Amino acid sequence: MLTKKQWDVCLDEIAKMFPDAHCELVHKNPFELVIATLLSAQCTDVLVNRVTADLFQKYKKPEDYLAVSLEELQNDIRSIGLFRNKAKNIQALSKMLVDEYGGIVPGDRDLLTTFPGVGRKTANVVVSNAFGIPALAVDTHVERVAKRLAMNRWKDTPLQVEEKLMRWTPRERWCDVHHQLIFFGRYHCKAQKPNCPECPLLSMCREGKKRMKENE
């Protein structure tokens, strides 16, 4: 397994590679980020941004999503995977926001996870990006990178990955590290073809060494 000291080196190398890593979901306020993050489940940020460019023109506040039929909203997001279920969740969470929170998104992870369609990862993304509260959301890229580097075991759950990341990463770096790991996983340590030959972490990486050996 990776040591804590090696993890620190990995973080610094990844930060050097992606110093400007940031949230790629386009949004202007916490509510738009909730909607965009909910839509991004099993879908690329690029596609979500394409859809929300029009969606956020038409729907500006929770009440707007409640003023249309479910079918109309489903039609507006139909190019996104799982659109039927996502539309239902958007209307349900809009109703909860209006009924219980005066239409204002709460900046509290535990409260956010009580909203329909909002899991721990989405709540972490929202509190860290929209409210500046340190959080380390574990998405598919973060989980893959942590496991390839043997930071975590393959069988660990996303929550176990998150807990270890938080233990091993200084709290003040959580938000940046979240984005940097996503960029590293999205653009370098890709799911199908990780760029191991040019990776500065190769000497510390279990998966990279295995792949390099297989290609000898």
Please identify every residue annotated as catalytic. 121, 139
- The interface mask with ligand SF4, positions 170-189, x = CB under 6 A, is ------------------xx
Phi then psi for 157, rounded to 5 degrees?
Answer: -80, 165
Number of residues that bind ligand SF4 (CB under 6 A): 13
Contacts of ligand SF4 in 112-171 (CB under 6 A): 148-149
Judged by beta carbon, residue 134 or residue 208, the one nearer ligand SF4 is 208
DSSP string, 157-169: -HHHHHHHHHHHS
Task: Give yes or no for a contact between 25 and 40, defined as CB atoms under 8 angstroms apart.
Answer: yes
| Residue 205 binds to ligand SF4 (criterion: CB under 6 A) | yes
| Residue 208 binds to ligand SF4 (criterion: CB under 6 A) | yes
| Span from 45-53, 87-95, 159-167, 196-204 in contact with ligand SF4 (CB under 6 A) | 196-204
- Report the residue count for the chain: 216
Residues 101, 120: Cα–Cα separation, whole Å = 19
| Residue 194 binds to ligand SF4 (criterion: CB under 6 A) | yes
Over the range 40-65, which residues count as b (16 or more CB within 10 Å of their CB) and which as e?
bbebebeebbebbeebbeebebbeeb
Could you list the residues that contact ligand SF4 (CB under 6 A)?
148-149, 188-189, 194-196, 199, 201-202, 205, 207-208
